[in-house]
Amino acid sequence: MSARKTDDSGVLVIGLGRFGSRLAGSLIHLNQDVLAIERDLERVQHWSARLDRVVQADSTEETVLRQLGVADFQRAVVAIGASVEASVLTVLALAELGIPQIWARATSEKHAKILDSVGAHHVIFPEAETGDRVAHLIVSRMLDFIEFGDDFAIAKVRVPESIVGRRLRDVSPTDRYGVMVVGAKLPGEHFSYAGPDTVLQRDSVLVVEGSISQVQRFAGLE
């Protein structure tokens, strides 16, 4: 088995139902280190042979999560769908542990509001989001993307720090990174199409196109 990336301490996935298990598998496919937590023993046994690390535990208990070393993780996904109470209590426990990025599955708008109020940073509606898509967003700096087949995507990314203040013609993103910058938008301003003289300003959101791997590489520039 190839070595997993340990950047950002991997990804914690809580809940191995249909969505959670698909998400965990997608993250591993993206070469991420994954720790999965599931309360149901049968599911734990089923997935233990397919995922790197699967633990049976009650994720609603902060002390249990702390004992499992969850506080060391930078990114966590609460994929619990069967119990709103367990979902909310798990997000609350993760927030108490100070996890910087908490993604949580919601089953309704009301559920989403509660998750947001107790500490979720990103709320997911699995009916509209696939595990593959969420996995890409978690491990990259893309804000959003739409993929058209395997070799083309349009994505929203923040201007990488290393190219802030430079003109698009000087950066040459198509030649250097294989992506085309279509447009740019500053907070509070209207979207505008990008041209060679467009200055890449800090806090701007860019619309870029290219393959998923090319866009991820561009978004991840330091």
CA distances from 96 to 14, 101, 102, 193, 204 (A): 16, 12, 11, 42, 32
Is the pLDDT higher at 133 or at 32?
32
Q: What is the pLDDT of residue 193?
A: 85
Question: Going along 75-220, which residue ranges are E strands?
Answer: 75-78, 101-105, 122-124, 142-147, 153-158, 180-185, 192-193, 205-210
Least confident of 67-71, 146-150, 180-184, 186-190: 146-150
7-139 CATH fold: Rossmann fold (3.40.50)
208: pLDDT strictly greater than 70: yes
Exposed, middle or buried: residue 31 (CB in 10 Å: 0-12, 13-18, 19+)?
exposed
Q: Does residue 212 have a pLDDT over 60? A: yes
Q: Which of 133, 4, 64, 114 is nearest to 14 (CA)?
A: 64
Name the least confident of 29-33, 165-169, 201-205, 218-222.
218-222
179 and 215 Cβ atoms separated by less than 8 Å: yes
- Mean pLDDT along residues 11-28: 91
**Domain 142-219 part of CATH 3.30.70.1450:** yes
- Per residue in 1-11, pLDDT (tens digit) is 334 443 456 89
Q: Assess contact for 200 and 173: CB atoms under 8 A.
A: no
Per-residue pLDDT tens for 119-175?
999 888 876 566 666 766 665 666 666 666 567 777 777 887 877 878 888 878 888
Beta strands across the sheet bearing 142-147: 142-147, 153-158, 205-210, 180-185, 192-193
Query: Which secondary structure element, helix H or strand E, spans residue 149, and what is its range?
Result: none
Kindly state the tokens that stand for 98: 């100070």
Q: Give pLDDT, residue 65.
A: 96
pLDDT of residue 36: 96
pLDDT of residue 89: 97
| pLDDT, greater one: 1 or 181 | 181
The answer to whether residue 194 scores a pLDDT higher than 50 is yes
Strand 101-105 relative to strand 53-56, pairing: unpaired
Q: Which residue has the higher pLDDT, 31 or 34?
A: 34
User: Which pLDDT belongs to residue 125?
Assistant: 80
Which token pair is 145?
A: 């993307």
At residue 133, φ and ψ (nearest 5 deg) are -65, -50
At 192, which helix (H) or strand (E)? Answer: strand 192-193
For the chain, domain boundaries: 7-139, 142-219
Q: What is the pLDDT of residues 42-97, one digit of tens each?
A: 999 999 888 879 999 999 999 999 999 999 999 999 999 889 999 999 999 999 99
Q: Is the pLDDT of residue 109 over 80?
A: yes
Counts for the chain of helices (H) and strands (E), in that order: 9, 11
CA distance 74 to 144: 20
Here the tokens at position 147 are 């993929």
Confidence grade of residue 32 (pLDDT, cut at 50, 70, 90):
confident
